[in-house]
Chains A and B, each alone.
Chain A
Amino acid sequence: MLKINNLHVKLEEEDKQILKGVDLEVPAGKVHAIMGPNGSGKSTLSYVLSGRDGYEVTAGDATLDGEELLDMEPEERAAAGLFLAFQYPVEIPGVGNMTFLRTAVNAQRKARGEEEMSAADFLKFVRAKAKDLKIDADMLKRPVNVGFSGGEKKRNEILQMAMLEPKMCILDETDSGLDVDAMKLVSEGVNALRDEGRSFLVITHYQRLLDHIKPDVVHIMAAGRIVKSGGPELALEVEHNGYADILAEIDA
């Protein structure tokens, strides 16, 4: 599904290399997690994959189902099936959540040559998905993320994911700012989307999210590279011993 090959990325504005050769492959239907200390480049990886400005790819590439991702505009990546659940979802005053969702769903359908969804069908669709995530009518009416609590923002991200039905989902520290109940709700939302044809890349600091969203593979990222990969037990090891042991082991 997602293949990242020797990806090198620096900041556009300054001479600072963030990613220094990331190699990663997430097969279809699998959940991979990336853990790592602050500043290891986890979020940068998610931004570069989704096409945010401000980064320059100096070497390597990334493909989604064989398609070269890094040449595409952000909206083309989305239409190709990539979805990034933001660590800090953006507030957009004046744009109703419902308008936003309908515009996004129909824009992607159009880009894929599918018919746009009628207003009535859309309403049915969004209500069903929102109910699963305990998102009420009021949250759908309000402007995108404006005045939402941390938990509401993250649930809204998962609602978008559920509506857009992407094949490759990247979750960037979705657990940050969530209490236990909200984390459970969000995780259930994600788990409900797990599917043979859909892959996940879950970026997190902490093992606790991975108790709810069980990964197939865990990668440790440090200093701009994947330094170690393993099964779910690797996350537990980090939880107990921190990153220091792993990093020392690699340096040795």
Chain B
Amino acid sequence: MSTAVKMQAALISADARPASGAWLADARADAASRLAAMGLPTRRDEYWKWTRPDSLISAVADTAEVLDYEGEEPLFSDVDRLKVVFVDGVFSAEESDALEGEGLEIERLADAAAKDIHWAKDLYGVLETRGQTPVNRPIAVHNTAMATDGVVIRVTGALSRPVSLVYRHEDANSDAILHSVIRLEDGAELTLLENGPAAARFSSVLEVDVAKGAAFHHVRAQGRDHDRQAITHVFARVDAEATFKSFTVTVNGKLTRNECVIDIVGDNAVAHIAGAALGDGAEHEFHHDDTVFITHDAVACESRQVFKKVLKNGAKGVFQGKILVKPDAQKTDGYQKSQSLLLDDDASFQAKPELEIYADDVICSHGSTTGAIDEEALFYLRSRGVPTPIATDLLVLAFLADAIEEIEDEDIAADVTGRLDAWLARRRG
């Protein structure tokens, strides 16, 4: 029996799934049967043409050595936030803050799971299920069936204090599956921060329901542990006048695939998704895949995709991005930008930008480019006395700037830029 088949067989057995109360047990059983029908991804799947799923679905996770961060303060350390810490996917009560706040209901999925009935029932696995058409995302289904923990958040007010999920990695063989659901009620506001490598292999699903006039801001930094792997899914539903903004920075990592599925269902809503990835394949593999699907199903909504990758020494980048505009989604303003900067001939970038438009009064476009460092700019900097390696790094940061600008909070944006600068400087030696 192949690994994948073994995995499916195990899933169908209820014993294999985490124990939970009725509502969650139902959602998990449903996911297990959906996965059994769908099957796990294979390299023959069109959607997995450029990223091999094998190591993401193998029975045992590949080892990933824990990186020594040499005392560096983790990102967001200076931010006043409500911290929820998971170590190799296991909740750490002593490192986490009390799960409470004004205008906020927050609890662990494991705690919510123990209850027989819970509001999260209307969300858990629901947005994920909606996100299965027109393309299957089996690893997300697997996550819904098998996630051991996560957070369940309901926001009723405009929170000024971000919720910060911290994913620490201590065990070189850990295999973590976390699933979080977030509901922003009408007019609510939340900033969600996520950072850290999480585990040797990390599967994450985030379901976010942004109700009318609500605003969700998401900033995520995936850990720099070289051999770590991550498969993440964000499923969002964005209602009228609401804002959804998500930014991810990725540096290092043997394999990362970040999928984002956004359904814009209410008029005048805004959805932005951005990412900056930096990879050097000299000593460790680097493969980074951004796969995005945005559906416009309402009038006068704006969507933006801004993805930038800087790759060298055999590092690989993938972008699959789609905007689907439904027949009634008039006045849609959708733009997709996917650019990669290849610092040498060994690096590679594959992109599949897609627009599928059924409304006639829309502005939709995409720009996908692959390029090298601008020689004119490089010479200009050098002629002012800036040595080539420093000049190159200045241009690398400049290239990433418009993705980083998608971060709403200027201090966090400056911190992210500073970390990228430091990473580049370490490589210069």
State the A residues within 8 Å of B (CB).
50-53, 73-75, 77-79, 83-84, 86, 89-90, 92-95, 99-100, 103-104, 107-108, 111, 143, 160, 164
Q: Closest Cβ of chain B: how far from A169's Cβ, in Å? A: 12
Residue of B nearest to A166 (CB): B385
A143 to chain B: which residues have CB within 8 Å?
A: 398
Give the total of B residues in contact with A, Cβ under 8 Å: 24
B382 touches A75 (CB 8 A): yes
Interface string of B398-412 (1 = CB under 8 A from A): 111110000000000
Nearest neighbor of A50 in chain B, beta-carbon distance: B383
User: Which parts of B378-425 form the interface with A (CB within 8 Å)?
Assistant: 379-388, 390-391, 394-395, 397-402
Task: Across the A-B interface, give the 7 residue pairs with the lowest CB-CB distance, nearest first.
Answer: A94-B398, A78-B385, A94-B401, A108-B385, A104-B384, A90-B380, A74-B382
Q: Is B59 an interface residue (CB 8 A)?
A: no
Given contacts A75-B385, A78-B385, contact A107 B379 (CB under 8 A): no
Contacts of A103 in B (CB 8 A): 381, 386, 390, 394
Is there an interface contact between B383 and A79, defined as CB atoms closer than 8 Å?
no
Tell whether, in the assembled complex, residue A94 and residue B388 are in contact, meaning their CB atoms are under 8 Å apart: no
- B356-378 CB mask vs A (1 if < 8 Å, else 0) is 00000000000000000011110
Give the CA-CA distance A77 to B387 in the complex, in Å: 11
Tell me, in angstroms, the Cα distance from A51 to B376 when the chains sit together.
12
Most chain-A Cβ atoms within 10 A of its Cβ — which of B380, B383, B395?
A: B383
Which partner residue on chain A sits nearest B379 by CB separation? Answer: A52
Please judge, given known A-B contacts A94-B399, A94-B402, whether A100 and B383 are in contact too, CB under 8 Å.
no
Instruction: Please tell me if the beta carbons of B395 and A89 are within 8 angstroms of each other in the complex.
Output: no
Query: A217 CB to closest chain B CB, in angstroms?
Result: 25
Minimum distance in angstroms from B392 CB to a CB of chain A: 12
Among candidates A75, A84, A92, A100, residue contacting B388 with C-beta atoms closer than 8 Å? A75
Chain A residues with CB under 8 A of B383: 50-52, 74-75, 77-78, 83-84, 86
Known A-B contacts A75-B388, A94-B397, A104-B386; A53 and B402 likewise in contact (beta carbons under 8 Å): no
**In the docked arrangement, what's the CA distance between A52 and B391, Å?**
15
Enumerate 22 A-B pairs (CB-CB under 8 Å) in ascending A order: A75-B385, A75-B388, A75-B391, A78-B382, A78-B384, A79-B385, A84-B383, A89-B380, A92-B377, A92-B398, A94-B397, A94-B399, A95-B397, A100-B384, A103-B390, A103-B394, A107-B384, A107-B385, A107-B386, A111-B387, A143-B398, A164-B385
